[in-house]
Structure 1
Amino acid sequence: MEHITLLIGIVIVTALVFDFTNGFHDTANAMATTISTGALKPKVAVAMSAVLNLVGAFLSVEVAKTISGGIIDESAGIRPEIIFAGLVGAIVWNLLTWLAGLPSSSSHALFGGLIGATIVSVGFDAVNADKVVMKVLIPAVAAPIVAGLAAWCATRLTYRLARGRDERDTAKGYRAGQIASAALVSLAHGTNDAQKTMGVITLALVAGGVVAPHSDPPMWVIVSAGLAIALGTYLGGWRIIQTLGKGLTDIKPAQGFAAQTGAATVILASSHIGFALSTTQVCSGSIMGAGLGRKGGVVRWSTAGRMVMAWGLTLPAAGLVAGGAALLADQGDWGVGAVAVLGLGVSAAIWLASRRKPVTHDDLDSRDAVADAEPAGVVTAALQAVAPPPAGPLAPAASSSPEAGRAPAAAAAS
């Protein structure tokens, strides 16, 4: 580490900040259904998830290799400034979607940021388009569908096996299964998402000549990335947990168990073969599949529509922000400094906006329904224009709380 320059050090710190936002942004993937059904208290759930995310970070480096030597050509003149710009684009989009309570993909924000910054600074030839298609875009489409079908089948089978038995008699067993399957999802999340930051840091080290091309992540990189994502997970992304746990569909313990088991299977299989898929999309797909798998179950399609719109916007939006940051960073040291200042300013503004109507673990303990709401922020407003809130029998019941009258996605974003 003695050869690490100041710029590479800044890139490493920024990558760990992204890893931290990834943790609290994606806590909902593992714990939303477990919390919503009451299987675990919110703080206990995120603590367990944080520990298992840390453990999962040490289980594989295949996804890290996809990032560090897959989607971007290491030999095409990639500089630390480019990686820094890409990370800034990913962080800004992560924070915007967190503020809106939308479970968008941290992974795709990272990919979009790196690709956008690389295209602006180096050109299209520096992006391995075939790897992007095979290991990012195809999994992005296929993974939530596969996970949704798996969860649908598992839910149908679960209810068929429990036919004739009182649901209250089986709930305890299913809740124990939920805890086990949530632990598996957390472990799987660590094997997939923590590795993405490892890959970015390794790419920066290669770009700075600190390590040889195609190297595995050094142990200190693995440890730091694992700790950063675990800390972010422990703090809990309560806004997004609300959306996935209550705003998308009403989940019973049996459905939660089926959804989490299906998601964990897809994520672990993808990590093993090096697919850098979105754990958010996988878990969202499995929750929708489980919601439809129960007789009489419904999915709030307006919320699902806003989520899908956010998924589609993530790659290009993060890429545009990162491209602008790369143009500025290419101007030299003052440009890098300006990107850092602007990134900090935007992040601080988003955090201050979130403090106006905070969501904490107490809200998840006490709220049994998702209230109607006005759009919260530019992202949610734009998505609601495309997919308006549900009306009639699928609309959530009105709440008597001071926050009543807000739409499902915005309740999560309060």
Structure 2
Amino acid sequence: MNESATETHKDTTVLGGGRGRGLRVFRRVGGTAALAAALLTGVATSGAAAADSKPASAGQDRPELQKAIQAFVDSGLAAGMQIRVNDERGEWAGSAGVRKLGASAKPPTNGRFRIGSTTKNFVATLVLQLVDAGELKLDAPVAGYLPQFKLNPDITVRMLLQHTSGLIDYTYDVDTEGKPVQGIPWQGKDWVAKRFHTYTDEELVRLSLSKGPKFAPGERWSYSNTNYVLAKLLIEKVTGSYEREMKQRILQPLKLSRTELPGTRTDIRGPYAHAYYRYEDAPGQWKVIDVTRQNPTWISAAGDMISTTKDLQMFFSALNNGKLVSAKLLAEMRKPHPESAALYGRYGLGTWVQDLNQRLGCGGTVYNHNGSNNGYAALMYSTPDGSKTLTASITSGDADADVAKEFPKALDNLLKTAFCGENAAS
């Protein structure tokens, strides 16, 4: 997600995320609106399916939440959506829209989905756990751990997690003069042609480095997927295995059995909703394809994980109530950089900090890290103590929705409903 308000020069509207960065932006491509990196347009399904007949709240009816997610579908933002809310009323799970275009079944509320840049919150948590264990130092030079890349010695571990390293995003970015810097194919016809291609982490990092720095380390803030690919390599360097450490330190202790690091695997195991990608195949000629299967190595640890709304809820609640990192490092995680203002708040270390009172007039402080990759989007929010959470999956369809207009409106409505009381959004 490139969520900095300072970077609107390269995108029409910053929605906060994208290119595996959580619901990113609207870019203009050949005069047409395209969604940069994931939440593509959905299908407007009139009278789309309601929540599962037996929601997680043991029969408790939450019509206000059902109405809020139905708005995503009705606006054309989603073919399908599933949501889970935990609060003082208990747990509720529901869905709207369709599991697959052309079918009537709704998305399963226990379905797995690609979580995009929400992965970054897991990675940042793992890095901070290694800092707690004394295996990494937060303000140590990354070059000391990964000498093969000949990184600027002023780039620290903290800067990777905070997006202040100055490293160019290997997907798409702008240079020091504001000129576009093209990286790997990450959208449109080019991405479709290479969606099963396998990239290595070293390849992605070296591509970024070949473009030169965007600014001096620590000088500014700029969201870059390169930072979290390097964070993965850093974890591997000090522990021997990124996947093993993620499982042993986070997934297994929390019993997140439906959360996966897919590697090069292209499929999704277990129940899931299909996701679609709308792109311009030739001038004025649009196509829609099923992108449920795709090789996630293009986004690596910046956005490749697969999970469920339940697992995301369990993880984010545990993190925010202090079960995963020390109080000292949790406080560091929540210190926002002042230049990182965006739709989702301001960025700390792998976490967005947002004052809903300022944005909505109610709701207080929440922490979040939303995410997306082509066809999928994820929402993950929590109150500071982890007692109230909202997690959701959005799968795109075949409609050409006005995302820049409709997404902020639908998201605000959902957040107001979940965090300000059941009648707040009515």
TM-score (norm 1): 0.27
Larger RCO (alpha carbons 8 Å, 6+ apart): 1
Give the alignment's TM-score, normalised by structure 2.
0.27
- Write 1 or 2 for the structure with the bigger share of helix: 1
Greater strand proportion: 2
